Chains A and B, each alone.
Chain A
Amino acid sequence: MLRVWNINRRDIPPAALIPITRRFIMENTTLHILDEGMSPQEIAAATVCCKLGPKIVTTTEGN
């Protein structure tokens, strides 16, 4: 059984896992897309990261 689990709702026991509908299965939507990601243009627009010192690698502007 395919299933989706909302990790934000930590109070829900595993027994409450939700079966995905038949239509989902037929469309092969076993992949739950959360973020389509960034194009080179978007990465470029997120400006230069000055990695001065040990930092997490992140964009320095945007979002």
Chain B
Amino acid sequence: MPLTRYHLAVPLSNDPGRLLLFSTAKASLATLDRTIYQRLTQNETPPEGLRRDLERLGLWVADLESDEAAMLRFTDEINQARRKASVSVILGMACNFACRYCYEGEMKATAAAMTDDTVCQAVRFLVDWCRKLGMERLVLSFYGGEPLLYPHLIRRFATRLKPALAAEGIGFGFTLVTNGSLLTPQLIEEFVSLGLLGIKPTIDGPAECHNQTRPYKNGAPSFTAIVDNLLAVCKLTRVDLGGNFTRDTWQRFPELLDQLSVSGLGPEQLGQVNFSAAMGVTDLIANTGFTYGCASVNELWHAEAVVSLREAILSRGFKSAKVSASLCMADVDDALVIHHDGGLYKCPALIGHKEYQAGDIWDGPLEVARVYAVGHWQRQAKCRQCRFLPLCLGGCRYAAYQRHGDLSAVDCQYEYFEAALPGLLDQELRYRHGDRLEEADSRIKGEG
């Protein structure tokens, strides 16, 4: 019996004699003496107690063949366990911002929006779809354009869906992916009564950076309005803050955290804070003027930026997402995007690309597996045997499409994980498990 292929061992920063073991499939975390780890890698059989613990953590397997076979079932097992459907709804393309990197680009010029007939059909489709899938809960993520330019559509969805789903014994909630400029306490109070679970605004660093990349359509700065609005609503609903950086701006993002804290938007007021790179896009729909986006997670600067910014977030007491396996929407059976015209997609970035439409709300999902190359990584030996596979699962289909013009190509993220994961795990250890380590320290001291 060996150690699983899907793990990473990194030396503890302050004790090279011990290693931090991380299961990339299970996200379990433990420390182990380096010498014992070395013996395990040489296929020495561990004592019974240690073997049982390693097995429980997903770190010790029967053999590498069954380890790989289990990984082939990984997404199926997660799909079978899901009871919550996640659906993004593109209400319309109108937006009051002119974000430099927006992948919706030219589509927003149409300002096309969902009609009332389409809302009615979308509600019928969603209730029927959730019932057939045996879902216990539906969470919509309203998206645009700017969804708060369509508050009437949000009301129509929520007021019709909530009772229709309740009649089937299915729960309902929704979130807003918003630029934050149109938030008011009155609107949020009303939406909370309709099922609002939280909002996800975006601020791209301190004011001078943000106002360059996310101005109003007329070029006016938007930073102050967003911060003021978030201050006004942060006690009414959960606020998960995002931000998009470039290789030129990421080092300024910690200033944003300090500015927010001074303004009254500190760790107590915000949910999670997660910054990510603005992606370079090259297709005809996207903004062709934005040429300095991140073309691949493997770009050398990117791992340093991600680890440094997460350090800035956690060290200031803000919360950030846990490092764990996560599935692309394309691999999740009960996740969809509904475009404003009723078309169904499996990635919000691919709306409007008709070749990636996979059905509609009248006829239901169609040919999803073929159109989105579901399980594309399973056909690649280098993926099946990659220790980072559960974290990557073939990477981002939209990134593959941008680079290769074909989303069935694998977006290998090996170099990124190799560079970033040790730092991210060190953060997990220090910011999530520091207390447990200290408890263990005290216990051992007491016994000694």
Chain A residues with CB under 8 Å of chain B are 2-10, 14, 17-21, 23-24, 27-41, 43-60, 62-63
Interface string of B102-126 (1 = CB under 8 A from A): 0100000000000000000000000
| Chain B facing A: main interface SS | mixed
Taking a contact as CB atoms closer than 8 A, the residue among B79, B81, B430 that contacts A7 in the complex is: B430
Give 8 A-B contacts (CB < 8 Å), ordered by A residue.
A10-B14, A21-B444, A37-B58, A43-B27, A45-B83, A50-B347, A53-B396, A59-B324
How far does the Cβ of B387 sit from chain A's closest Cβ, in whole Å? 13
* Chain B minimum-CB-distance residue to A54: B297
Residues of B within 8 A of A33 (CB): 28-30, 53, 57
| Contact status B324-A18, CB under 8 Å | no
Cα A29 to Cα B322 in complex, Å, equals 26
| Contact status B277-A55, CB under 8 Å | yes
| Contact status A4-B440, CB under 8 Å | yes
**A4-B444 contact in complex given A34-B433, A37-B26, A52-B398, C-beta closer than 8 Å:** yes
**B376 contacts A by Cβ under 8 Å:** no
Cα A49 to Cα B444 in complex, Å, equals 40
| Contact status B396-A54, CB under 8 Å | yes
Residues of A within 8 A of B29 (CB): 33-35, 37
**B260 contacts A by Cβ under 8 Å:** no
Residues of B within 8 A of A10 (CB): 14
How far does the Cβ of A55 sit from chain B's closest Cβ, in whole Å? 4
Cα A32 to Cα B55 in complex, Å, equals 14
Residues of A within 8 A of B434 (CB): 6, 8
| Contact status A38-B14, CB under 8 Å | no
| Contact status B396-A44, CB under 8 Å | no
Residues of B within 8 A of A31 (CB): 30-32, 50, 53-54
